[in-house]
Structure 1
């Protein structure tokens, strides 16, 4: 067995491109090796900004030889009655590259057929690798690629060298005028040397690169940086807590080193969020915080230099940050000269989406929808009445900071700067906080708004965004979601769940659509109700899919999720949906769960045949078991319904099981439902349907549950 070492040397690749590219390299080689019948013992990929490396341990010297059996025409067609080959037989033999006399006749289920037996001799792996490695280079995709030298090859950055060794032999390949050889290159500033790699040996490769100031292994670079950053922070009683930033800076350097820098303390009068954003997002620095959580004037920079050259890097990074913070201080000073309230009307100069007006129009919609939600929640005692005015004020000001110079320079601070400027303007703290919170959650692991004022404004903002995009058919497709509608839906679901809001999604969507310019009712034009209904159904389907995916990720069974989604109550009330799903997940672990499923499923399958509507008619009962079942239903209906009304869904499930599990089965054992008398038959079907709907319309539709083993055993 022989090892393969393959390195694509490039100009500096963006940090975010490297890990996805390495994952693709691994997948592409695995796929191509399987296609070419090459067994692989192990495979490892790593990279730096200037190289993507693949190391394969244990490749065979040759492909495995195989015998291929190809079925041809029927024997009666390939040969005539005298045994001589026909044109069909000769043509098949020629197409397979075998002599007509070497065709074999075998019996199949369809009769006797001709088969060509071909021996495929294994080729030398060294002669197969050029094709595989070239396909890997061409097959890696990037968010943005470059084209150079007038060729048709696209890559993240221009390729400058290819190292390809199979054992001690160079793989004979060439792409875009670059021939593979046995050379790699050291650090561009600390070495610059061309390094000869004599054989495909991972340890040797790593050692020779390390001598030339390149730490090729990504994990080693990350842990080296972690140790150095942690050591520097420890002297300030601080700790490194940004793993995402650590991953990014790991792929910005080939020689991992970290240095402590500082900036003038006078800049600390700028809001801390601004300083952190300037450090992290613009410069990839690690801020150092004091024990009280406030920023110090120290920070850590990751540099692509060794200890000898570190001081120059310190001065350079301090100079760059000073320029950034000087700009930020200027913006902070200038922006405060104009209160947020006076910026609101100027939002008319900021476009939102085509046909949906500007941000002043959008602000009016958010205010209107916030008031609507506020009034609904106040009526349900889920929001104090004094919150209404604060919600309206926060909604009015929530987008005003988009016009500030600070947000223009640091877009990720929208909302956060709105809070800071609102505080400066003298707005109530609750209103200032809500302005920042209404964007939350900003990402999957983010928290929801801590205040209900921020939660309500956030819901209004997210519902308006979703309805606006669906109205313009700007819906997510596959992996594409340019307007982050999935994140908005996720935020809506979490806010409603965690704030325990009772909201009818259908009504909220209807209100949100009615505010859009496309659907405003005007005397001089028709209101496109059909189009609105179509978009609304699309959003409901979108929310249904989001609820399913979110709860799958939370660990709920897919059949339980569908059971709750498919019930009569559906998911129109998201908080209620979540309560029912949680209850069903708990109940499904009970020993009596299979019997509950059976009774609900059986009553559904029979009751769905009912052709009449209305109430069960007692005078049509002809059997004692009918009367008994109906009396039990009337006696216990209110108990089950009260549990449902009070959201005690586990108790409702148990009560339904205890009341109907045996009585329903007894009814079916003693009463024949499908009698000839149509009125009696329909009345019995209606009785069964009524009992089923007591559960399936309010809690869950258990008619399609997946039960493991015998239904008499707990799943």
Structure 2
């Protein structure tokens, strides 16, 4: 077995491009190796800003030989009645490069056919690798690529060298005039040397590069940075609190080092969020915080050099941050001269989406939808009446900070700066908080709004975005979601779930759609189109989100489908989560398989009923019919009461206790599909009524996969 070492040497690649590119290299090599029948022991990809490296351990010297069977014409066509080859037979043998006498006849499902049996000798791996490595290099995709040396090669940055070693041999590959060899480059500032690598040895490769001030292994580089930064933070009683930033700076350096720097204390009168954003997003610095979370006037910068001339690096980083903070302080001072309330009208100068007006129009929609939601929650005693005015005020001001200079410079601070300016303006604390909270959750692991005012404005904002984009057919496709609709849907689901809001999804969605400018009145002849197309499309989008969220949380996929497929659906998202939680608990009970069986059996037979209404006892001919109806009538009210009180576990157990045995006895003794149509439909209607008592409001257990579970 022989190892492979492959390095693509480049000019500096953006940090965010590196890990995805390495993942692609790993996937592509795995795919091509399998295609070419090359087994391997292990595969590892790593890199720095100036190189993408792949090390493959344990490749064979030669690909595996295989025997192929190629089916040809039918035997009756390849040979005549006397057994002599026909033109068709001769032509097939010639095309496969075998002697006509070596063709074999085999029986197939369609009769006897001729087969050419060919042994394909394995090629030398060294001769296969040029094609594989070239295809990998050509097929790595980046968010943005450069055209390099002609029209056939696109890459994130210009390629300067290729190291390709199979054992101690150079892989004979060339792409756009760049030939593979056994040389790599050291650190551009601390070394500048070309290093010869004698063979595909991972430890040798790492050691040679380390001698020239390059730590090529990403994990080793990250931990070296972590250790250095932690050492600098320990005297201040703090540690690294941003792993994503650590990952990013790891891919900005080849020689991991860090330095401590300072900034003037006078800048601490700027909101801490602004200082942190200027440090992290613009300069990739690590703030140093006190135990209470407040900032020291110090920060740590990652360094791609050793300690020589560290003072110069410190001065340079301090000078850059001073300029950033000076701008921020100016914005902070100037922005406060105009209250948020006076900025609202100017939102008409900020476009939202084509055909959907400007941000002033959008603000009006958010206000109306926020009021609608708050009134619904007040009606259910989930919001105090006095909160309605706070909701309306927060909705009015929630987008005003988009016009501030600070948010123009630091877009990620939208909402956060709105809170700061609202507090400065003397707005109610709950209004200021809601302005910041209504953007939450900003990412998958972010918190949801803690305040109900922020949660309501957040729901209105997200519903408006989703309604707008679906109306304009700006929906997610595959991995593309430019308007973050999946995140908005996720936010809506989490807010409703965690606040326990009793909201009818369809009603809120209908209200949101009706506020769009293309549907100015519910009486519009376009409005039925909204109900018939857009609402089902959006509901299906949310159904998909609910399914994936709960499967990722560890729920059985069939259980999630069962709850989603109840007649009541998921219009009440909070109720959906309550039912799913209850069913998850019930599914651990011994009687669970029997409950599933009775619901599934009544569904499979009851779905054939072609009538509705009440069961007609006068059509009964069997004692079991009377008995089953009597049981249904005697327990229907109690079960419905448990369901209405959302006691789904109790309702499930009651349903099982009441119907498990009687339903099976009924099916054993009563033939449902009799010839008499009236009697047949009446029996089907009885079974359907029993099924709907459970499937209507709790879960459609016919969706369950019970293979392997005993009933």
TM over 0.5: yes
The equivalent of 1:188 in structure 2 is: 188
**Matched-pair contact (CA < 8 Å) for 1:430–1:453:** yes
Name the stretch that deviates more: 152-161 or 117-126.
Answer: 117-126
Post-superposition Cα deviations, 1:177-230, rounded to whole Å, max 9, x if no partner, equal 101111000000111101111111111111110000000000000111111111
Name the stretch that deviates more: 484-493 or 224-233.
Answer: 224-233
Alpha-carbon distance in 1 for matches of 2:41, 2:605:
58
The equivalent of 2:587 in structure 1 is: 588
The equivalent of 1:544 in structure 2 is: 543
The equivalent of 1:80 in structure 2 is: 80
**Matched-pair contact (CA < 8 Å) for 2:148–2:155:** no
Alpha-carbon distance in 1 for matches of 2:363, 2:109:
73
Alpha-carbon distance in 1 for matches of 2:309, 2:253:
14
Post-superposition Cα deviations, 1:87-127, rounded to whole Å, max 9, x if no partner, equal 11121111112233333344445444332222322222111
The equivalent of 1:12 in structure 2 is: 12
Q: Secondary structure at the match of 1:260?
A: strand
CA spacing shift, 1:469–1:104, aligned 2, 3 Å: same
The equivalent of 2:670 in structure 1 is: 671
The equivalent of 1:657 in structure 2 is: 656
CA spacing shift, 1:710–1:336, aligned 2, 3 Å: closer
Number of residues of Structure 1 aligned to a counterpart in Structure 2:
711
**Matched-pair contact (CA < 8 Å) for 1:78–1:89:** yes
Residues 72-111 of structure 1 correspond to what in structure 2 (within 5 A)? Answer: 72-111=72-111
The equivalent of 2:179 in structure 1 is: 179
The equivalent of 1:520 in structure 2 is: 520
**Matched-pair contact (CA < 8 Å) for 1:521–1:527:** no
Residues 281-292 of structure 1 correspond to what in structure 2 (within 5 A)? Answer: 281-292=281-292
The equivalent of 1:273 in structure 2 is: 273
Q: Secondary structure at the match of 1:152?
A: coil
The equivalent of 1:165 in structure 2 is: 165
Post-superposition Cα deviations, 1:661-682, rounded to whole Å, max 9, x if no partner, equal 1122222233333334433332
CA spacing shift, 1:32–1:676, aligned 2, 3 Å: closer
The equivalent of 1:529 in structure 2 is: 528
Alpha-carbon distance in 2 for matches of 1:38, 1:20:
24
CA spacing shift, 1:76–1:17, aligned 2, 3 Å: same
The equivalent of 1:641 in structure 2 is: 640
The equivalent of 1:34 in structure 2 is: 34
Post-superposition Cα deviations, 1:619-670, rounded to whole Å, max 9, x if no partner, equal 3333332222222222211211111111110011011111111122222233
**Matched-pair contact (CA < 8 Å) for 1:65–1:121:** yes
Shift in Å at residue 458 of structure 1?
0.3
Q: Given the two structures, how large is their TM-score scaled by the length of structure 1? A: 0.97
Name the stretch that deviates more: 655-664 or 306-315.
Answer: 306-315
Q: Secondary structure at the match of 2:118?
A: strand
**Matched-pair contact (CA < 8 Å) for 1:15–1:251:** yes
The equivalent of 1:295 in structure 2 is: 295
Post-superposition Cα deviations, 1:365-412, rounded to whole Å, max 9, x if no partner, equal 000000000000001000111110000000000000000000000000
Aligned-residue CA RMSD (Å)? 1.5
Alpha-carbon distance in 1 for matches of 2:326, 2:39:
59
**Matched-pair contact (CA < 8 Å) for 1:85–1:100:** yes
Residue 377 (str. 1) matches residue 398 (str. 2): no
**Matched-pair contact (CA < 8 Å) for 2:253–2:304:** yes
Alpha-carbon distance in 2 for matches of 1:166, 1:677:
80
Residues 21-170 of structure 1 correspond to what in structure 2 (within 5 A)? Answer: 21-170=21-170
The equivalent of 1:413 in structure 2 is: 413
The equivalent of 1:258 in structure 2 is: 258
Post-superposition Cα deviations, 1:107-155, rounded to whole Å, max 9, x if no partner, equal 4454443322223222221111111111110011111111122332001
Alpha-carbon distance in 2 for matches of 1:130, 1:675:
73
The equivalent of 1:555 in structure 2 is: 554
Alpha-carbon distance in 2 for matches of 1:511, 1:6:
58
**Matched-pair contact (CA < 8 Å) for 1:3–1:59:** yes
Post-superposition Cα deviations, 1:572-607, rounded to whole Å, max 9, x if no partner, equal 000001100111111011000111111111111222
The equivalent of 1:477 in structure 2 is: 477
Alpha-carbon distance in 1 for matches of 2:106, 2:679:
65
Q: Secondary structure at the match of 2:446?
A: coil
Residue 689 (str. 1) matches residue 688 (str. 2): yes
Q: Secondary structure at the match of 1:637?
A: helix
The equivalent of 2:488 in structure 1 is: 488
Alpha-carbon distance in 2 for matches of 1:442, 1:522:
33
Name the stretch that deviates more: 332-341 or 687-696.
Answer: 687-696
CA spacing shift, 1:241–1:676, aligned 2, 3 Å: same
**Matched-pair contact (CA < 8 Å) for 1:476–1:485:** yes
Alpha-carbon distance in 1 for matches of 2:27, 2:522:
57
Shift in Å at residue 231 of structure 1?
1.2
Alpha-carbon distance in 2 for matches of 1:621, 1:327:
86
**Matched-pair contact (CA < 8 Å) for 2:514–2:522:** no
The equivalent of 1:444 in structure 2 is: 444
**Matched-pair contact (CA < 8 Å) for 2:476–2:482:** yes
Q: Secondary structure at the match of 2:129?
A: helix
Alpha-carbon distance in 2 for matches of 1:80, 1:275:
89
The equivalent of 1:628 in structure 2 is: 627
Alpha-carbon distance in 2 for matches of 1:150, 1:124:
31
Alpha-carbon distance in 2 for matches of 1:545, 1:383:
30
Q: Secondary structure at the match of 2:236?
A: coil
CA spacing shift, 1:255–1:663, aligned 2, 3 Å: same
Shift in Å at residue 271 of structure 1?
0.3
Alpha-carbon distance in 2 for matches of 1:108, 1:276:
72
Alpha-carbon distance in 2 for matches of 1:511, 1:381:
21
